[in-house]
């Protein structure tokens, strides 16, 4: 027997910690090192395999029988450690259990449902632009990237007005908890009790307004699709993954458009590019940077031998800029053909809320471009540190109305 990832199998070992502050401050040189070292690498710091090229990330995502999710999609192996919260019934599940819960959320967040909420989401985006034009100078993270999703998503879910301030902190715990037991994760979990209590309460049927996504999930109990005990946990998935992700997605798009004025001009000249501008920002910034899988058997991946029960870290962000797959990967191009990027994952776990995210991104960027001539960054952007999510804490800007 050789040690995991030993030189015997030809897997290069890298002394890289993709969860520390210096990495988060500028991950790109390390992403390149990871990609160029080989198709599969081994990270000694956390004793995990890593894949950073597009082909291998895509392959791992699309072989859920070998690279499973039920042992956790973070570093912690649920077979060896007790999860910090009851596991997700969708994200941290494998077929056939996943197939059933996934069908429920797909129905609740389907293209047909998006047609119904579209006008409401678009009207809220216009209102947000009204408020920003009044201000002229503002923080594009709090006043735009957070304020807009907060103005629609909790209502769309059917949440009560009280307690919503727990939503972003709760999501931040969830995404920190996928990381290794570093300070970010430990502190997040230690402080999570009040947020967990709020979320558990709001997932109950009685606390969700009729007609919202939450109530629609509970209605599936009556259809026999899920049990009454499962419904609150599926609502929890939307509370965990549905808000902070789009905050970082919209934040990424605004940051890109403010940094690359030529792309902003292109968007202003053709408002139909709003949806593409958002999608390209999800590729370019990859708000969800990484996820893990666990091997269910020994497997050969691009020549590397991986044993059973090993964690494999997928660098979605590095795959989204792999020059083997993308032309000029480091340029933000709103007319790029982004189909196939892995910012929302790929395969059976590919983001079930992707249509919600795109709708929010599209209507918000289109409303901004229609009424604002110029966005200038007026202060040093500050980064927000999280083990999984990439985004800013603050982005001071001044706008010029059209």
Partner 1 sequence: MPAITFIHPDGKSDRVETSGGESAMQAATRLGLDGILAECGGNAMCATCHVYVDESWVARLPAVADDEDALLDGTAAERLPNSRLSCQIHITPELDGLVLRLPERQV
Q: Which residues are near partner 1 by CB under 8 A?
A: 103, 106-107, 110-115, 275, 279, 337, 339-341, 344, 346-347, 350, 352, 354-355, 358, 362
Which residues inside 98-127 make contact with ligand HEM, applying CB under 6 A?
A: 102, 105, 109
Q: How far is the CB of 337 from partner 1 (least distance, A)?
A: 6
Cα separation, 153 vs 12, in Å, equals: 44
φ/ψ of 315, rounded to 5, equals -90, 85
Q: How many residues bind to ligand HEM according to rule CB under 6 A?
A: 28
The reply to whether 283 sits near ligand HEM by the rule CB under 6 A is: no
Q: How far is the CB of 158 from ligand HEM (least distance, A)?
A: 13
Give whichever of 37 and 277 is closer to ligand HEM, judged by the CB atom: 277
Determine which residue in the list 287, 301, 317, 372 makes contact with ligand HEM, applying CB under 6 A: 287
The reply to whether 72 sits near ligand HEM by the rule CB under 6 A is: no
Q: Which stretch binds ligand HEM (CB under 6 A): 161-169, 180-188, 301-309, 348-356?
A: 348-356
Give whichever of 217 and 258 is closer to ligand HEM, judged by the CB atom: 217
Which of 369, 376, 367 is closest to 399 using CA atoms? 376
φ/ψ of 345, rounded to 5, equals 80, -160
Burial label, 234 (beta-carbon count in 10 A; 0-12, 13-18, 19+) = buried
Give whichever of 105 and 372 is closer to ligand HEM, judged by the CB atom: 105
The reply to whether 217 sits near ligand HEM by the rule CB under 6 A is: no
Cα separation, 237 vs 91, in Å, equals: 8
Chain length of the chain: 402
CA atoms within a 13 Å half-sphere pointing along the CA-CB vector of 393: 9
φ/ψ of 291, rounded to 5, equals -150, 155
Q: Which stretch binds ligand HEM (CB under 6 A): 113-121, 174-182, 262-270, 341-349?
A: 341-349
Q: Which does 362 bind (CB under 5 to 8 A by kind): ligand HEM, partner 1, none?
A: partner 1
Q: How far is the CB of 384 from ligand HEM (least distance, A)?
A: 15
The reply to whether 232 sits near ligand HEM by the rule CB under 6 A is: no
Q: Which does 383 bind (CB under 5 to 8 A by kind): ligand HEM, partner 1, none?
A: none
The reply to whether 276 sits near ligand HEM by the rule CB under 6 A is: no
The reply to whether 242 sits near ligand HEM by the rule CB under 6 A is: yes
Q: Which does 343 bind (CB under 5 to 8 A by kind): partner 1, ligand HEM, none?
A: ligand HEM
Q: Is the dihedral of CA 90, 72, 61, 97 positive or negative?
A: negative
Q: How far is the CB of 9 from partner 1 (least distance, A)?
A: 30
Q: Which stretch binds ligand HEM (CB under 6 A): 131-139, 160-168, 194-202, 237-245?
A: 237-245
What CA–CA distances, in Å, run from 204 to 100, 256, 352?
20, 39, 21
Give whichever of 347 and 396 is closer to partner 1, judged by the CB atom: 347
Determine which residue in the list 70, 76, 220, 245 makes contact with ligand HEM, applying CB under 6 A: 245
Q: Which does 249 bind (CB under 5 to 8 A by kind): ligand HEM, partner 1, none?
A: ligand HEM
- Residue tagged 């009204």 (tokens): 130
Determine which residue in the list 220, 246, 338, 388 makes contact with ligand HEM, applying CB under 6 A: 246
Spatial contact of 57 and 51, defined as CB atoms under 8 Å apart? yes
**50 Ramachandran zone, left/alpha/beta (phi>0; psi -120 to 50):** beta
Residues that bind ligand HEM (CB under 6 A): 69, 73, 90-91, 102, 105, 109, 237-238, 241-242, 245-246, 249, 282, 287-288, 291, 316, 343-345, 349, 351-353, 356-357
């Amino acid at each position: 027997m050789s040690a995991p990832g030993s030189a015997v199998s030809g897997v290069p070992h890298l002394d890289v910690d993709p969860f520390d502050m210096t990495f988060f401050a500028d991950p790109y040189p390390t992403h390149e090192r990871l990609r160029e070292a080989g198709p599969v690498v081994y990270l000694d710091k956390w004793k995990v395999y890593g894949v950073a090229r597009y082909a291998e990330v895509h392959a791992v995502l699309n072989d859920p029988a070998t690279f499973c999710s039920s042992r956790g999609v973070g570093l912690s192996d649920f077979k060896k450690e007790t999860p910090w919260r009851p596991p997700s019934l969708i994200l941290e599940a494998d077929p056939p259990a996943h197939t059933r819960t996934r069908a429920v959320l797909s129905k609740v967040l389907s293209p047909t449902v998006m047609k119904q909420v579209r006008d409401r989401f678009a009207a809220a985006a216009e209102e947000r632009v009204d408020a920003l034009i009044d201000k002229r100078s503002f923080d594009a993270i709090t006043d735009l990237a957070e304020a807009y999703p907060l103005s629609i998503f909790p209502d769309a879910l059917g949440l009560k007005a009280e307690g919503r301030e727990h939503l972003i902190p709760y999501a931040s715990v969830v995404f920190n908890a996928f990381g290794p037991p570093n300070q970010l994760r430990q502190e997040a979990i230690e402080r999570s009790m009040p947020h967990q209590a709020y979320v558990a309460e709001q997932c109950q049927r009685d606390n969700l307004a009729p007609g919202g996504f939450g109530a629609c999930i509970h209605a599936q109990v009556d259809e026999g699709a899920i049990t009454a005990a499962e419904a609150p946990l599926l609502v929890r998935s939307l509370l965990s993954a549905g808000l902070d992700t789009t905050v970082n997605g919209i934040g990424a798009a605004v940051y890109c458009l403010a940094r690359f004025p030529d792309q902003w001009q292109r968007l202003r000249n053709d408002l139909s590019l709003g949806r593409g501008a958002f999608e390209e920002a999800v590729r370019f910034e990859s708000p969800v940077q990484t996820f893990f899988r666990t091997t269910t058997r020994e497997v050969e991946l691009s020549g590397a031998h991986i044993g059973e029960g090993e964690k494999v870290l997928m660098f979605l962000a590095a795959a989204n800029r792999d020059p083997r797959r993308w032309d000029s990967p480091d340029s933000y191009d709103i007319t790029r053909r982004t189909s196939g990027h892995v910012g929302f994952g790929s395969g059976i776990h590919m983001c079930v809320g992707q249509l919600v995210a795109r709708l929010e991104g599209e209507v918000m960027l289109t409303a901004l471009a229609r009424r604002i001539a110029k966005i200038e960054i007026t202060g040093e952007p500050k980064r927000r540190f999280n083990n999984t999510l990439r985004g800013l804490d603050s982005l001071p800007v001044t706008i010029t109305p059209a």
